Chains A and B, each alone.
Chain A
């Protein structure tokens, strides 16, 4: 605990108590970051496969994505303090609230994906399926990346200071999980592009996480400490092992593709949990709030305090 009366280099605080409130979100929210990302990137993967004439992959990605779309709203609603008021999210359109924008994106994307999947399942209404797929493809990338803005648009140091990287990390992670999940459900001969998306996504996500932590300096340490640190290691280990398996044996063996795909998905889920916990840890310790603001004051000065003279 920092000393209240201490001066010098030690960070001062009020009995070591947090300055900002720790996010009150529970496990559903980081889990949704994963399912939303999976849904958004799967919609893109499905349409790209369709255009390329790979119908088997297109169908698999469409069904995976729709399943992910459908579990997302229950996750979000169950985190609410007053779940029966979930529809209040849609009583306004508010661009200053990433959660409000995200609710609309999820509504459009989920509606479009579900429509396309139903048409596909019935093997009817092809023009409707095509139209719905276009909507889902356009809504997918925002759905996969807005959650990076959602967490960055807070006072939480490990999130707000990482605002440049987070949407890119979440986008790469979404691609990785979509490619990996689709690889599990189609013959390896048809899953080539999905495997490439999965491997490239894992590599991009890992590189961006490293770059972000380097840029954050001392604040970056929260991503390596405590529960966030353990989850980061798990994320890296699972995703890299899964990508390696997918990219080698997974090219021929269905069993290897299923195992590799599942490992990548587990890794990307852990990564969302790691980011979530890093945010909580940085909110809990007043040192991160004070130090990042003191650095800003040294650089730019502050108008928050008015001193005499």
Chain B
């Protein structure tokens, strides 16, 4: 289950699978990751607004936000024994594309624009994407979105907007050059850790055991298990509460898991349509 779909096709060019381990227990909400990501990837500015939701003013991952820091204010003690401050806690989590082992966006993409890189990550080829938007509702995390901003200068004159789909590339260009992704490089607390996925999983297990021994309230890994609904995340997390508290789905499943069954069902329906229409002519042959 743990080998990402399509990675084996690289043969000798296949690299060790890399990803992120985002440890929210040390996140301080500085948003350096958001800024570094925007700068490195030349992501356009898409509005400056106050949401009123704690310190979160980006709101969600989108075509123009590939790292998003969530802020949750809770009346819940940090430690299970009730100690650890005032009984209030402030959770911060830097969200990102999960680079799923079984990626729905990649499966449903009709043009082959979304592809699996030699590092096991999932990337949109911007010269192929035709903005059909299928990956947008296919992603169980709501990561992908269409960019509605004014077009870049290289687009044809009739294009009213960019119109393509954008998301985190796990800094594919930086990986090619042997560098770590911009967000991980910028993170001052090592909340965002980059590395070979197997190594990150071991590190996360050790971290979870330590937090458990210290009695942290609600500590859990999210997306670490290669047997989950998407075959494990390439970018997984240590959370301090249930996933939905951070706006994450509690049990994401790759929708194409059910596709063989859906195709079979469709063929039965198509057959019924053929037989049903033919049956309307019974006895009317002239």
- Same complex for A and B? Answer yes
Query: Is A232 at the interface (CB under 8 A from chain B)?
Result: no
Query: Is B188 at the interface (CB under 8 A from chain A)?
Result: no
B250 engages A304 (CB within 8 Å): yes
A252 vs B162: C-alpha distance in the bound complex, in angstroms?
A: 55
Query: Is A123 at the interface (CB under 8 A from chain B)?
Result: no
Closest beta carbon of chain A to B88's beta carbon, Å = 10
**Which residues between 110 and 136 of chain B lie within 8 Å of chain A, taking CB atoms?**
110-113, 128-134, 136
A153 engages B262 (CB within 8 Å): yes
B273 engages A22 (CB within 8 Å): no
CB-defined contacts of A290 to chain B, threshold 8 Å:
244, 249-250
B259 engages A96 (CB within 8 Å): yes
**Which residues between 66 and 87 of chain A lie within 8 Å of chain B, taking CB atoms?**
79-86
B270 engages A92 (CB within 8 Å): no
| 22 examples of A-B residue contacts, CB within 8 angstroms | A4-B245, A5-B73, A14-B246, A15-B51, A15-B53, A23-B136, A53-B285, A54-B281, A79-B133, A81-B161, A82-B163, A92-B111, A94-B110, A96-B107, A97-B108, A141-B271, A145-B269, A153-B108, A167-B262, A168-B269, A168-B272, A175-B276
In this complex, how many residues of chain B approach chain A with their Cβ under 8 Å: the count is 96
Known: A81-B164, A144-B270, A163-B262. A308 touches B249 (CB 8 A): no
Known: A44-B273, A82-B130, A88-B111. A19 touches B248 (CB 8 A): yes
CB-defined contacts of A24 to chain B, threshold 8 Å:
133, 136, 145-146
Query: Is A107 at the interface (CB under 8 A from chain B)?
Result: no
Query: Is B247 at the interface (CB under 8 A from chain A)?
Result: yes
**Which residues between 160 and 212 of chain A lie within 8 Å of chain B, taking CB atoms?**
160, 163-164, 167-168, 170-172, 174-175, 178-179, 192-194, 196-197, 200, 204
A137 vs B274: C-alpha distance in the bound complex, in angstroms?
A: 8
A164 vs B258: C-alpha distance in the bound complex, in angstroms?
A: 10
Known: A20-B139, A48-B280, A155-B137. A142 touches B266 (CB 8 A): yes
A5 engages B75 (CB within 8 Å): yes
A235 vs B279: C-alpha distance in the bound complex, in angstroms?
A: 25
CB-defined contacts of A122 to chain B, threshold 8 Å:
none
- Chain A interface extent, by class: 35 or more
Known: A94-B112, A96-B107, A99-B132. A154 touches B270 (CB 8 A): no
Closest beta carbon of chain A to B157's beta carbon, Å = 11
**Which residues between 164 and 215 of chain B lie within 8 Å of chain A, taking CB atoms?**
164-165, 208-209, 211-212
A138 vs B85: C-alpha distance in the bound complex, in angstroms?
A: 69
Q: Which of B107, B211, B247 is A17 in contact with, Cβ under 8 Å?
A: B247
Query: Is B82 at the interface (CB under 8 A from chain A)?
Result: no
Query: Is A111 at the interface (CB under 8 A from chain B)?
Result: no
Q: Which of A23, A44, A53, A155 is B286 in contact with, Cβ under 8 Å?
A: A53
B274 engages A44 (CB within 8 Å): yes
CB-defined contacts of A193 to chain B, threshold 8 Å:
280-281, 284
Query: Is B156 at the interface (CB under 8 A from chain A)?
Result: yes
A163 engages B109 (CB within 8 Å): no
A152 engages B262 (CB within 8 Å): yes
B246 engages A303 (CB within 8 Å): no
A89 vs B130: C-alpha distance in the bound complex, in angstroms?
A: 8
Q: Which of A22, A97, A160, A175 is B134 in contact with, Cβ under 8 Å?
A: A97
B286 engages A175 (CB within 8 Å): no
A89 engages B132 (CB within 8 Å): yes
A193 vs B282: C-alpha distance in the bound complex, in angstroms?
A: 9
The stretch of B10-18, B19-27, B41-49, B225-233 that contacts the partner chain = B225-233
Query: Is A296 at the interface (CB under 8 A from chain B)?
Result: yes
A192 vs B282: C-alpha distance in the bound complex, in angstroms?
A: 11
CB-defined contacts of B165 to chain A, threshold 8 Å:
81
A250 vs B251: C-alpha distance in the bound complex, in angstroms?
A: 52
Q: Mark contacts of A212-242 with chain B using CB atoms, 8 A cut-off: 1 yes-contact digit, 0 otherwise.
A: 0000000000000000000000000000000
Known: A12-B245, A82-B130, A192-B284. A304 touches B251 (CB 8 A): yes
Known: A81-B165, A97-B107. A302 touches B251 (CB 8 A): yes
Given contacts A21-B143, A178-B277, 14 further A-B contacts (CB under 8 A): A13-B244, A40-B273, A44-B277, A85-B130, A89-B111, A91-B112, A94-B112, A97-B107, A144-B273, A154-B134, A160-B258, A179-B280, A204-B276, A304-B229
